[in-house]
Chains A and B, each alone.
Chain A
Amino acid sequence: MKENLPIVVYILATALATFSVRVLPYYAKFLNKLPPFVGRCMRLLPIAALGPLVFPGVILDFSPQWYAGLAGIGASFLIAYTKGGMIFPILTSILVTYIALVL
């Protein structure tokens, strides 16, 4: 960590960020009147987050065996897309990455 703060400070900071947006609408009425465009942006944020949460990290983390992570997430994508769920795709992805790393 660049800042050398205790982990608990980061945890409480994220808790504050989460709690503040959760509690605000229970007390502030203006949120019922936000422009539709702003509303659409906010509802799209979690989907927009998925891209940068995976790339380029999944390639950089396994460098020089950059293909290992890609093989892993490729497997989890196929299973999650066809069968749904989360724990089975994740376990398969760990197995595929493991095989790619030791080969």
Chain B
Amino acid sequence: MEFSDKQESLTFRRGVREGFPICVGYFPTAMAFGLVCRDVGLKIWEAVLFSVTNFAGSGQFLAINLLASGSLILEIFIGVLLINMRYLFMGAALNNKLEDGIHGPKRLLVAHGTTDEVFSIAVLHNQRLSWPYMIGLEGIAYIGWVGGTALGFLIGMVLSSELQMAVGVTLYAMFISLFAQELRQKGIMVLVIAGFSAIMNSILILCLNVGSGWAFVLSMLTASIFGALVITEGEALP
């Protein structure tokens, strides 16, 4: 699918309009992140700072998970770096479509706002991407992400102590929900790859006493290499 945008130019207003569904979609996920941050013991400004400086769903959830399990900073850094490697490809594709003359801080801001969803919308246009359009598209998504984080944290403050214990499952429920959606959309390979990494991680931690951060990095890398070996280029890639 491509947007037929021969007539309508890529304005700030159009960016906001196309980014609004992303904003709505981010809000509940970001609320879940805010809730988890509170559960783990962060202060509200720390939770918000997380979303302001990172603006990356899976990377942030990974980081807070490893942080809660007492992983070392290097383990967290490498884990987040790996999980966000896909942005290299998204950025390379968007960079080829950017209008000339977007340099310095503008270019850095466009880079900071590159998320999976922003990419999937922006890349569909068959004309060059303007600065006002990109900042509208990314800005509205950013507001949803940061706003949702703050609200999720505040909601966590009014929960009873019994419920707070059960809230410990939030993070896992969030990943399982993501997994269920991926499985439904992309098929059995998602189960094979995620199952492979889950089993390997469990063996590393429970049987071999490997630290949780390194176990995570090792099992994620091995499973993705395994997946890339069994999926050929012609097949639908997750």
Q: Which residues of A contact B72 (CB under 8 A)?
A: 2-3
- Judged by a CB distance under 8 angstroms, whether A45 is at the interface is yes
The residue among A22, A40, A76, A86 with the most chain B CB atoms within 10 A of its own CB is A22
Assess whether A77 is in contact with B180, with CB atoms less than 8 Å apart: yes
Q: Please report whether the interface of chain A is mostly helix, strand, loop or mixed according to DSSP.
A: helix
Q: Which residues of A contact B221 (CB under 8 A)?
A: 45, 48
For residue A61, which residue of chain B has the nearest CB? Answer: B168
For residue B113, which residue of chain A has the nearest CB? Answer: A22
Assess whether B60 is in contact with A14, with CB atoms less than 8 Å apart: yes
Chain B interface residue number, banded: 35 or more
Checking A5, A20, A76 against B73 with a beta-carbon cut-off of 8 angstroms, the contacting residue is A5
Also in contact, A10 and B73, with CB within 8 A (given A44-B227, A47-B190, A51-B197)? yes
Checking A8, A26, A39, A62 against B49 with a beta-carbon cut-off of 8 angstroms, the contacting residue is A8
Q: Which residues of A contact B124 (CB under 8 A)?
A: none
Assess whether A12 is in contact with B173, with CB atoms less than 8 Å apart: no
Assess whether B32 is in contact with A86, with CB atoms less than 8 Å apart: yes
- Judged by a CB distance under 8 angstroms, whether A64 is at the interface is no
Assess whether B182 is in contact with A94, with CB atoms less than 8 Å apart: no
Assess whether B193 is in contact with A14, with CB atoms less than 8 Å apart: no
Assess whether A14 is in contact with B63, with CB atoms less than 8 Å apart: yes
Q: Which residues of B contact A12 (CB under 8 A)?
A: 53
Also in contact, A25 and B95, with CB within 8 A (given A14-B76, A73-B172, A90-B170)? yes
Number of A interface residues, CB 8 Å? 72
Q: Which residues of A contact B237 (CB under 8 A)?
A: 40, 43-44
Complex: how many Å from CA A8 to CA B42? 10
Complex: how many Å from CA A14 to CA B213? 14
Assess whether A41 is in contact with B228, with CB atoms less than 8 Å apart: yes
Min CB–CB distance B20 → chain A (angstroms): 18
Q: Which residues of B contact A55 (CB under 8 A)?
A: 198-199, 201-202
Interface residues in B182-238 by Cβ distance below 8 A to A read: 182-184, 190, 193-202, 205-206, 212, 215-216, 219-221, 223-225, 227-228, 231, 233, 237-238
Assess whether B56 is in contact with A94, with CB atoms less than 8 Å apart: no
List 17 A–B pairs whose Cβ atoms lie within 8 Å, in order of A's numbering. A1-B70, A7-B43, A17-B77, A17-B84, A22-B91, A26-B95, A42-B224, A51-B194, A51-B196, A52-B220, A56-B206, A69-B172, A86-B28, A86-B29, A94-B169, A94-B170, A101-B166
Q: Residues on A close to B: CB < 8 A?
A: 1-3, 5, 7-26, 31-32, 36-37, 39-58, 61-62, 68-69, 72-73, 76-77, 79-81, 84-87, 89-90, 93-95, 97-98, 101-102
Task: Kindly list the 10 A-B residue pairs having the minimum CB-CB distance in the complex, ordered from nearest.
Answer: A51-B198, A25-B91, A52-B201, A51-B197, A93-B173, A98-B166, A80-B180, A15-B53, A48-B223, A87-B28
